[in-house]
Structure 1
Amino acid sequence: MLCDIDSLTVLHCLDSICAQSAQGESTSAEFQPSCLGGDMSRLTLPWPPSVNRYWRTFRGRMLISADGRSYRQEAVIAAMPGQRFGAAKVKVSIDAWLPDNRRRDVDNLFKAPLDALCHAGIYDDDSQIVELSIRRAGLDKANPRLEITLEAA
């Protein structure tokens, strides 16, 4: 699946952040990426919705739910200043800071953030990922998140 960034979505998200900031509300600004130079980038994304909450069926078609679209917008904003890899092969490493001690399969955490990064234009297509790893980094009830490191392969 080829992905490209929807500039109208990005502009809408930025307008929302500016409006929230002007009103003193919390924004997604805490999810800022840092470029590590060279061919490596580190991003911090919010905790993703579950696979069951990310997708919805409508008239026989599988669509991204409202929760999924909201998550994707936050991820696009977080990834905007990050390094772009274009069509290059990419290694992805994820540190998952869990929101609670419930049992969960960490492999279910991949879909939403990887699709969101593709949508944000970090890489052109999910098929470019040649190495993918995830680990449970710990528990952080106050700020569950995914710390993602991307590196050119």
Structure 2
Amino acid sequence: MQRLIIPGTVPSVNTMYKDKWIKRRKFRVYTDDAQSWEDLCILLANQWMASSKWSQTSEKVVLRIWFYWKDNKRRDTHNCLKIMLDALQRAGVYEDDYKALPRIIDFEVDKSNPRVEIEIELLGQS
């Protein structure tokens, strides 16, 4: 099974938003770093879909996820799922992230190559 590999550190829900004011109303939007990470995730997911011949599905999808952090800073892996699941939906991996079933397999430190690796398959297709 070919893994989708996204370099860098996944933004956490604790750091991925900033406030933007429009006509005296405050909105939460992605920070520049979070937007860049999402854009890269979408690009790489589209390349992964083409090379693995994956097409968008409305079925349940299992995501096995490995995190490789850039340092020993303590992080909660589940805080990184929001932007990742949303980006994969925008890329067309699945129609709705409601059907995404994330499985965090492990996390480690890899200072020279921080990344997230994801195996994607339809539920019951292993």
How much does 1:50 deviate? Answer: 2.7
How much does 1:142 deviate? Answer: 0.9
Structure having the larger proportion of residues in strand: 2
The 2-side partners of 1:99 and 1:48 are apart by 10
Per-residue CA distance 1:32-65 (angstroms, 9 max, x = gap)? xxxx3xxxx5201122123233112212211122
- 1:118 match: secondary structure: helix
Q: Identify the match of residue 5 of structure 2 among 13, 29, 44.
A: 44
Q: Does 1:58 pair with 2:28?
A: no
| Partner of residue 113, structure 2 | 143
The 1-side partners of 2:116 and 2:17 are apart by 20
The 1-side partners of 2:32 and 2:55 are apart by 27
C-alpha contact (below 8 Å) 1:72/1:116 kept by paired residues: yes
Correspondences of 1:119-138 after superposition (within 5 Å)? 119-129=90-100, 131-138=101-108
Per-residue CA distance 1:94-122 (angstroms, 9 max, x = gap)? 01112111111111121121111111111
- 1:149 match: secondary structure: strand
TM-score between the two structures when normalised by the length of structure 2: 0.80
The 2-side partners of 1:115 and 1:121 are apart by 10
TM-score between the two structures when normalised by the length of structure 1: 0.67
Quote the RMSD (CA, aligned, Å).
1.6
What is the total number of aligned residue pairs between the two structures?
113
Unpaired runs of at least 5, structure 2: none
In structure 1, give the amino acid aligned to 2:86: D
The 2-side partners of 1:137 and 1:107 are apart by 11
| Partner of residue 42, structure 2 | 76
In structure 1, give the amino acid aligned to 2:35: R
C-alpha contact (below 8 Å) 1:96/1:137 kept by paired residues: yes
Identity of aligned residues (%): 34
In structure 2, give the amino acid aligned to 1:76: I
The 1-side partners of 2:99 and 2:41 are apart by 19
In structure 2, give the amino acid aligned to 1:125: D
